[in-house]
Structure 1
Amino acid sequence: MNNRRSFLQKLGLLSAGVAFAPTLLTSCDSSNQNTTTTSTAEGSDTSTATTGDTGLSDIGIQLYTLRELLPTDVKGVIGKVAQAGYQDVETYGYSVDKGYWGLQPTAFKQLLTDNNLLSTSGHYEFGQYMKDGNTDIVKRYIEAGNIVGHKYITVPYLGEDLRNSADAYKNIAEKVNKAAELCKDAGLKLAYHNHDFEFKQYGDTTGYDILLKETDPGLVSFEADLFWMEKAGRKPVDLFNQHKGRFVMWHVKDMDKNSPDLNTEIGSGSIDYKAIFAQANSSGVDRIFVEQENFAAGIDPFQSIKQSRDYVKNTLMA
Structure 2
Amino acid sequence: MPLELTTGIQLYSVRQQMAKDFEGTLAAVRAAGYLEVESASLPKKPASEIRKALDQAGLKCVSSHRSFTDVTRDLDATTEFEKTIGVSYIICPGPGRKNPPASGTNAAPLTVDDWKYNAEEFNKAGEKLKKAGINFGYHNHWVEFQPVEGKVPYEVLLELCEPDKATFEMDCGWVRVAGQDPAVLMKKYPQRFSMLHVKDFHLPPNVSFATHEEAKVTELGRGSIDYRPIFAQAAENQKITHAFVEQEAFDIPWQESLKVDADYLKSLSI
The bucket for the TM-score relative to the shorter chain is: 0.7 to 0.9
8 A contact 1:141–1:153 mirrored in 2 = no
- Please report how far the alpha carbon of residue 127 of structure 1 lies from its aligned counterpart in structure 2 after TM superposition: 4.0
- Please report how far the alpha carbon of residue 175 of structure 1 lies from its aligned counterpart in structure 2 after TM superposition: 0.5
Matched residues, number:
252
Aligned to 2:232: 278
% identity of equivalent residues: 34
Q: Which of 89, 92, 106 is 2:40 aligned to?
A: 92
- Tell me the secondary structure at the aligned position of residue 240 of structure 2: coil
Q: How does 1:93-108 map to 2 (within 5 A)?
A: 93=41, 100-108=42-50
8 A contact 1:89–1:117 mirrored in 2 = yes
**Quick one: distance in 2 between partners of 1:283 and 1:291?**
21
- Please report how far the alpha carbon of residue 158 of structure 1 lies from its aligned counterpart in structure 2 after TM superposition: 3.1
Aligned partner letter, 2:44: G
Please tell me whether residue 124 in structure 1 is matched to residue 58 in structure 2. Answer: no
* TM-score, normalization by structure 2: 0.88
- Please report how far the alpha carbon of residue 284 of structure 1 lies from its aligned counterpart in structure 2 after TM superposition: 2.1
Please tell me whether residue 305 in structure 1 is matched to residue 264 in structure 2. Answer: no
8 A contact 1:59–1:288 mirrored in 2 = yes
Aligned to 1:36: none
What's the Cα RMSD here?
Answer: 1.9
Structure 1 runs not aligned, ≥5 long:
1-50, 94-99
Aligned to 1:246: 192
**Quick one: distance in 1 between partners of 2:110 and 2:187?**
27
**Quick one: distance in 2 between partners of 1:262 and 1:67?**
19
- When residues 162 and 253 of structure 1 are mapped into structure 2, their CA distance, relative to the original with a 3 A threshold, is farther
Q: How does 1:1-318 map to 2 (within 5 A)?
A: 51=1, 54-93=2-41, 100-127=42-69, 134=73, 137-158=74-95, 161=107, 164-257=110-203, 260-281=214-235, 282-296=237-251, 299-316=252-269
**Quick one: distance in 1 between partners of 2:139 and 2:122?**
12
- Tell me the secondary structure at the aligned position of residue 85 of structure 1: coil
- Please report how far the alpha carbon of residue 316 of structure 1 lies from its aligned counterpart in structure 2 after TM superposition: 4.1
* TM-score, normalization by structure 1: 0.75
- Please report how far the alpha carbon of residue 84 of structure 1 lies from its aligned counterpart in structure 2 after TM superposition: 0.5
Aligned partner letter, 2:202: D
